[in-house]
Amino acid sequence: MTSNKSDLYSLVNARLVEIGIWPIRVLQIIGLFPLKVTNRRIYPTKIFTLEFNWTIVVVSLKLAFDYYFFANLSQYNSVGNLKRPTEIFANSGFAISVSLSSTLVRLFFLLKSGHFIANWTKYCQNISIISEYLNSSACKGGKYDSFFEQLRAENRKCCIIIFGICLYMTAAITARLFLGEQDIVVWTNPFSVLLLYASLIFWLSTTYLHGAVAILINYCIKILVAYLSAITEELQAAIKLVLANPNTIEVDIEFSKEQELVRSSQKIEDCLKAFLLIDELSAGSNFLGAAGLGIIQDTLTASVSVLLYTFLNFNWFVSGMWVMVGGSFTIMAIFSSRLYFYSENANNFDEGVKDVLHQLVCISNGCANLGSGVIFKIELLTTKLALDPPAVFPGFWQLYCPTCSLWCNLDKLTVSTEGCLLVHVSTNFS
């Protein structure tokens, strides 16, 4: 039995790495994933490996370009037509904060990669156990293989879009520096112009490709949301069986009505166990040593970027600097999309928890024939969910689920059993 569980874990681990390989590779390119990924497995960081050395190279380049940028800040401000003290202060403060935070995050994951390995191992272990409980393996050929293939295609598509935007911005910057008006180039030294060009391309590329963090985190959240939907469907099926009229119920010829009731009870208990594993994963991901750090850093960067470029756009629009306006709108769209997808997936997770809670309340109110033991477990979990529902709270800050506190009243969850089968399933595997 232990061997079977170990084999299942290995298969699930390999499958999840395979699905998320595109954002993982992108993060490796920009030095944010210093772990070795081979044979669809993730291995801890070791000194002087290719991944470790490449991360050091990226951090070194970043520090060098940052130094060059701040040493020549006045020239960069001239390129962006930033003249007023407020504009210069806002742009400089933003550049310093983003540079410092992104460098610290790289160093954190380089020195503390064991945190990611531990959380990833736990994630794969729980997903493999949940797959057993719900009979919905993440492996190829499983019941919901099409869903996981769709996730893989989405990850690939999002990464390709990011690369496309990088190429577009590179072309725009090239046109701005070399094909625009001559007074734009404030340095006559060709080497200085080349360094200006290289630093801008490096900064924009790492900034855009950093979006792979959001792709990878949202990918993991989507899997949890999908399994919440599967739990809801399993509970609905169990309720339908328990509440059915004995004269009309379609009972398996190999089982009596009592045996069907026992099977329903077991199915419900498996759903409870699967839900607790999802709860454990969502709580673990909120710690700053796990996905929470990436979400917070990405969210703060995106929010400040949108505000800054909204402010700077007024100046560029009045000055007729349409290349800068177009580039800034592209940046704003990218960062806004990160905030949107974080919020969307977090709220989908919230809705999935609500759907499960609704079904549990239905069972507690109308399925007493399941036995006092099962009902007691359901009531305990229902109380826990009503008071402290699992959610995506990076760093345990309530950033993305503003509605969570609005549905914690048990009185609002008193529903009739006739309405139990009509609950909306927010996300499914189809």
Measured CA to CA, the distance from residue 322 to residue 126 in angstroms comes to 51
Classify the C-alpha dihedral 422-425-429-430 as positive or negative: positive
The pLDDT score that the predictor gives to residue 39 is 77
Q: What is the pTM of this model?
A: 0.82
Measured CA to CA, the distance from residue 221 to residue 293 in angstroms comes to 15
Between helix 190-209 and helix 145-178 the angle, nearest 10°, is 160
Q: What are the domain boundaries of the chain?
A: 2-422
CB 386 within 8 A of CB 291: no
Please give the chain's pLDDT, 430 residues, in tens: 556 777 888 888 999 999 999 999 999 999 988 898 987 889 888 888 888 899 999 999 988 888 888 887 777 777 667 777 777 887 788 888 888 888 888 888 888 888 888 888 889 999 999 988 887 777 777 777 788 889 999 999 999 999 998 888 788 777 766 665 544 445 556 777 788 788 888 888 888 888 888 899 899 899 999 899 989 998 888 888 777 644 444 545 455 667 777 778 888 899 999 999 999 888 777 655 556 777 887 888 888 888 888 888 887 787 777 767 777 787 888 888 888 888 898 899 999 999 999 999 888 887 777 777 888 888 898 888 888 888 877 654 444 444 444 333 333 333 333 444 434 333 444 4
The pLDDT score that the predictor gives to residue 139 is 74
Measured CA to CA, the distance from residue 78 to residue 87 in angstroms comes to 11
The pLDDT score that the predictor gives to residue 257 is 64
Tell me the residue type at 346.
Answer: A
The pLDDT score that the predictor gives to residue 160 is 94
111-131 as b/e, with b when 16 or more CB fall inside 10 Å?
A: eebebbeebbebbbbbbbbbb
